[in-house]
Amino acid sequence: MEEFTGYEKFTTTEKGEIEKKITILQILIKLFKFLRVWPIDDNDNNNNSRSKLINNGIAWIFFASSGLVILSFAVEIILYYEGLNKIVGVIDYGTACISALFRIMHFYFNNVKYKKMIDKLLNNFLCRPIFSREKTDSVDSYYYLAKKVMVTYSSVTFVWILYFLISPIFKWMGTFLLSGINGEDLPFPKILPGYFPMDTSKLSGGIIFYIWQGIPIFLLVVVYVSADCFWYLIIILTIGQFNILKLSIESVSDSINDEKIDGEEDFMPLEKNKMIQVDMKLRKCLKFHGFLTEYVCLMDDLLNKSVMVDYLHAIISIAFLLLDVTINLTSGVWSKFLSTALFLALSIAHMFIFDWMGHTLAQKEKEISLTIYDLPWYRFLSQKHKIILCDFKSKNPHRLTGGKTFKLSLEFFTKTMRIIFSYFTFLLQIRDEK
């Protein structure tokens, strides 16, 4: 903790509060280090070419195994296509695996940039030496909001993946007991459709195929959810920092009004001493506002490609998931219906959360402009150019985007859902015609 800017100025109680907020972030970073997608620390004793080679090797083994699982989906479609139900399942989970693998590989190849972004977060956000500590309490509500979002999203996702991986085994065990009584052979169940070179009708081949599919899928889900929680925490904390900036600008106006002399006209310029104090506060606000704007740009540079792939996956996969849910519901396959419906809900929630965060971040940036407009700027002299500069930046906020082609917002979420439902209706018509 010693490397954090201004950390030594806090009391023991305040340091404890800061460490609580960093705990979740530290857990995520340790998980990324364990999966070898986080850069080795420069002060690590094992930081040598051999350890880096081992880390890179483990990461690439994971990437290769995940890629083979995805390739097995394509081979299954080409060689063993057996109707709409199978191809729907292959497209659903195949595109999801591709999206997850792209997210992880993007994290791996840009891990140094991610580390720099975290360093900025710790040095300038959580310790916050720029403003008085009274204003920093306002960010706590955003931290707890991020915590609730992360816990809810990750808990539901892990309940789904455990049900998804374990339910076929329990179903197979029950059927296997009945088949054993009747003297019949029963192949081990598949988690997902996919081609495997070994004979899966035998028990040993089926178990190997199950493990070959299950481990990469589970790790993909773990890293994908961790990356999502990583972004949820960073973006929501950034929203909280804009709220701190808003309160700091409001304090400039409050300090002027509190010290107003009786009979003094509103349009009169400030006294010299008061003007110096206001100038110092505005300099801090402008500096922090510039830093926040640069930080949003950095977040967008690292996030936009992953969001673009997620949205392409959403438009393709969610429409097929809706079709899959319809097929399972009409055919009465309740176990698969529950799994698919939960996966559908998670896919929509994932897309909605990012759109909501992008929308809220843009609204908070615009609130800065409104707060500046309410300042008694007519009483300032040399500070006017600082106010105008900050106001101009706030009126044109840098938005979080997907591939630099669309902006994350609730309006775009609505448009995307309309496209998905139109696509689903088209697929449903094709199915009914057959």
Query: Kind and range of the H or E element at 310?
Result: helix 272-331
- Residue 23's identity, in one-letter code, is T
Q: Which of 28-37, 378-387, 399-408, 414-423 has the highest mean pLDDT?
A: 414-423
Distance CA 96, CA 317 (A): 7
Q: How far is CA 160 from CA 153, 176, 318, 327, 424, in A?
A: 11, 24, 16, 20, 23
Pick the closest to residue 313 from 342, 339, 338, 350 (CA basis): 350
> Looking at residue 129, what is its pLDDT?
43
pLDDT digits (tens, 9 = 90+) for 202-213: 677 777 777 877
Which is more confident, 110 or 332? 110
pLDDT in tens, 302-319: 888 888 888 888 888 888
Give residue 2's pLDDT.
Answer: 37
74-87 pLDDT, tens digit each? 676 666 656 666 67
Q: Six-digit token pair at 137? A: 């309490």
Neighbours of 275 (CB within 10 A): 16
Name the DSSP letter for residue 139: G
Alpha-carbon span 380 to 372, nearest angstrom: 13
Contact 240, 295 (CB under 8 A): no
* Cα–Cα distance measured from residue 177 to residue 174, given in angstroms and rounded to the nearest whole number: 5
Looking at the predicted structure, is the pLDDT value of residue 369 above 80? no
β-strands 401-402, 406-407 pairing: antiparallel
Quote the CA–CA distance of 58 and 62 in Å, as a whole number. Answer: 6
Answer for the pair 331, 210: CB distance below 8 angstroms, yes or no.
Answer: no
User: Torsion-angle region of residue 5: left (phi > 0), alpha (psi -120 to 50) or beta?
Assistant: beta
Write down the residue that tokens 């409050």 correspond to.
254
Lowest mean pLDDT across 39-43, 83-87, 234-238: 39-43
pLDDT by residue (tens digit) across 128-173?
544 445 555 556 677 778 888 888 888 888 888 888 888 777 777 7
Task: Give yes or no for residue 269 having a pLDDT over 60.
Answer: no
**Residue 3, pLDDT score:** 42
